[in-house]
Homo-oligomer: A and B are copies of this chain.
Amino acid sequence: MTDFVATRAAFDLPEGLVYLDGNSLGPLPRAAAARVERTIRAEWGERLIRAWNDAGWMAQPPRVGDRIGRLIGAPAGSVVVGDTLSIKVYQALAAALALRPKRRIVLSDSGNFPTDLYIAQGLLDTMGQGHALRVVAPEAVADAIDEDVAAVMLTEVDYRTGRLHDMAALTAHAHAAGALTVWDLAHSAGAIPVDLSAAGADFAVGCTYKYLNGGPGAPAFIYVAPDHADDARPALAGWMGHEKPFAFAPDYRPGAGIERMRVGTPPVIALAALEAALDVWDGVSMADVRAASLDLSERFIAEVEARCPTLTLASPRDGRRRGSQVSFRHPDAYAIMAALIDRGVIGDVRAPDILRFGFTPLYLGHAEVARGAAILGEIMTSEAWRDPRYQVRQAVT
């Protein structure tokens, strides 16, 4: 059994705050500041250049990758950390297209996070070989997979509604048509059980600053199925992915397996914070997290619906079809969220009208959910959000 009392004690949340935005930026793990300070003072400061070897900096990306791999059903040696999620999408999609050279369609859906679509557009433009991005509604993906499709690129959990794709079924469907899959796990890793191996996923990418709590701008990760790892061609052929980076050979030769998905010099300081965040996950079972997250989400939905008749549930009502967030619609979502934040309950907004709330059992329990729903109810009943100071229109990542 996962000890949620212990995981809760591992975070430093401001007193009195109800933080329902861990789906956007996870909170500070208590050990992260000291871990980063050690890396800065004892490694960088004292060991300087020697720390690349003797503090193990060079080996961080695959080592940290393996720790994330455990949470997403990826075998050891199939995940590596680095860059941003946008870059990792580019790498994965480029590698997938290179494995299907005769096909010209990238299939995605309108629920995908925009940067994935933008990155695909930039890649296809750069390739200039007549590829096209086909974007359909989330529920139309399965039917849109045909023999022109090289890669099906999807985000498993919709960032707006929390709607969950069936990764195993869509992957099987893609494979039956000869296509490959690229799964974005931004809202999955640390949020719900993921089993990339069992689903037969070809490529997957994700970020570590949401449910994994790695810190603002923490590095992303990429998974390549072991079957493809030695055939995947890196579009971003950086020296850290070279077979022998320190031979300084003039020609690129990809490293073995997942190593070739490394690009430049690893972000050592950011990785130190991420390692402290991953320590919290030791001993945590994703099945327990899922059960607790569903319990929290169901309670929140019930409490909010009982108190706020003008808010419409935007997430699937069936918990099995939802990630670890709950969204409601309201035309004045921005003002409502501003009023809520002002009262110490933090969620966020996605244009045009979505209020998002993330449920993260590592550090949230029944009390916070009840308090968050009660304050939201109060704002809706009193119409406190109509106060002019809440009439803002901005959002953050």
Tell me the smallest distance from the CB of A58 to a CB of chain B, in Å: 7
Total copies of the chain: 2
Number of interface residues of A (CB under 8 A): 95
Contact yes or no, B25 A48, CB < 8 A: yes
Nearest neighbor of A120 in chain B, beta-carbon distance: B237
Tell me the smallest distance from the CB of A328 to a CB of chain B, in Å: 17
CB of A198 closer than 8 Å to a CB of B: no
Nearest neighbor of A19 in chain B, beta-carbon distance: B48
Interface-forming stretch among A109-117, A163-171, A280-288? A109-117
Map CB proximity to B onto A34-66 as digits: 1 under 8 Å, 0 otherwise.
001100110111101111110001100000000
* A396 / chain B contacts, CB cutoff of 8 Å: 49-50, 52-53, 58, 246
Alpha-carbon gap, A110 to B53, bound state (A): 27
Query: Residues of A at under 8 Å CB distance from B?
Result: 12, 14, 17, 19, 21, 24-25, 27-28, 32-33, 36-37, 40-41, 43-46, 48-53, 57-58, 82-87, 90, 94, 98, 110, 113-115, 117-119, 121-123, 125-129, 135, 207, 209, 215-220, 233-240, 242, 246-252, 263-271, 273, 341, 346, 348, 350-351, 394-397
Tell me the smallest distance from the CB of A180 to a CB of chain B, in Å: 16
Given A128-B129, A236-B86: A216 and B44 interface contact (C-beta under 8 Å): yes
Instruction: Return the contact of A86 from the options B24, B46, B123, B264 (Cβ within 8 A).
Output: B264
